[in-house]
Amino acid sequence: MTGLLRGLRRAGQPGDRASIIALAAYALAVAVAVALPSVRRLAAPRGQAGPGYPPSGPFTSAPVTIDELVTAPQFTTSQAERSAHVARSWQRVGGVGVNVVTVNPRPDHVNVVLGLAQGTVLSRGRFGRETFGSMVRRFKPRVAINGTYFHLRTNAPVGALVMEGRLIYDGLSSAVLTVGENGRCRIEYHRSKFGRDFGWAGTIRTAIGAGPMLLRNGRVALTPRDEGFGDPSLFAQARRSALGVTEEGKLLLVTVHTPITLNKLAYIMLRLGSVDAMALDGGSSSALYSNGQFITKPGRKLTNLILVYD
C-alpha cells in the first residue's frame, strides 16, 4: 500500500502512469477477494443450514434440538434385565474368539441410534471426544459399539451420519448402515458422498458410514483400495469391529480382540450368517458394551457410537 501511495504522488510522470494503474487494479482485486466471503454471509438467507445440513425433510430436527441430543439420551432402556430382542454370545470362528451381539431391530420399542461425544456442537460443525465408559453411562443403552473413523486431531468423522432423520455430516465412506422407520437395517455400498447420491430423507432415521464393505449379497466383497481406503494400518492385522445384517433382518454387532486382517474379518462375518457386512473403526477404537458389561474396551477416547435401546 505504501508503494501505491508513492506511485500516486508521482502521477504526473508519464512513465509511471501504467505502473500506477496496475497497482491500483491489484489493490482493488485484493479488497474484493477479502470482502467477498463477508458479503456472501450477509446475503445468505436467515436460518440457512450450515455445512452438512441438507434441506429439511419430514423427519428432520432443528440443529439446536440435535445438539441437545448429544448430551442427553434419546431413549431409555425399558427393562433392567436381559431383553428377548438382544442376545450376546462368544463364539470361536476360524480359530478366533468372536464377540457377537444379535439385535432384532423390528419391534417398535427397539431403537438403533447414534451417540455423539460431549463437546460436539453440530450447529457449529464441532465434534468432541469422550471415554467409552463415560458415553455408556451417559446414554444408558442396552448395547453400544464404536462407530465410524475420525480424525485424531479435529475429531471430524469420516463416514456419513444421519441422526433423527437429519443428515448431520456427509462423509466419504463407501459402506453405510441405514435404519428405516420400520426398524429395517440395511448395509449398502455408495460410490460417493452419502447425502449426494442417496434419497435418505423421509425414509432413514439413523445412518452411519464406515467401511470397507466386507460382504455383499452373501458373498465376500472386499475391495478397500477401490473404495478409497489407503491407510496402511487398515491392511495390517488389528483388533476389529464390524456390523452385519442377516437374511432375517437381524443386526450383528461384532468385535474381535485377536489382531486379524480384513479378509479374515469378512469370512468371520459370513460364517456368522451375515448377508451384508461392513467394517467399523478398529484397533484402539474397537469397543463393545452389552447389558451392563464392557466386553471390548478401547484404548482411546471416541467421538461416536452406535447405540441400541429396547
Q: Summarize pLDDT for 11-53 with one digit per residue, the tens.
A: 444 455 555 565 556 556 545 444 443 333 333 333 333 333 3
CB neighbours of 186 closer than 8 A, spacing ≥ 6?
Answer: 177, 178, 180, 245, 276
Distance of CA 63 to the CA centre of its chain: 17
Helix, strand and coil content of the chain, in percent to the nearest 5, comes to: 25, 35, 40
Task: Give the pLDDT score at 52.
Answer: 32
Which alpha helices (DSSP H) does the chain contain, by range?
A: 2-9, 17-43, 63-71, 132-139, 194-197, 232-235, 262-271
Task: Give the pLDDT score at 53.
Answer: 32
Task: Give the pLDDT score at 122.
Answer: 85
Task: Give the pLDDT score at 124.
Answer: 86
CB neighbours of 176 closer than 8 A, spacing ≥ 6?
Answer: 159, 160, 187, 188, 190, 194, 198, 207, 208, 209, 210, 278
Task: Give the pLDDT score at 57.
Answer: 39
Task: Give the pLDDT score at 24.
Answer: 59
Phi and psi torsions of 204, nearest 5°: -115, 125
User: Look-up: residue for cell 460417493?
Assistant: 192
Task: Give the pLDDT score at 229.
Answer: 87
Amino acid identity of residue 207, one-letter, is: A
Q: How many residues does the chain have?
A: 310
Task: Give the pLDDT score at 50.
Answer: 31
Task: Report the C-alpha gap between 170 and 179 in whole angstroms.
Answer: 16
Q: What is the pTM of this model?
A: 0.78
Distance of CA 244 to the CA centre of its chain: 17
The residues of the chain scoring below 70 in pLDDT are 1-66, 69, 71-73, 78-82, 191-202
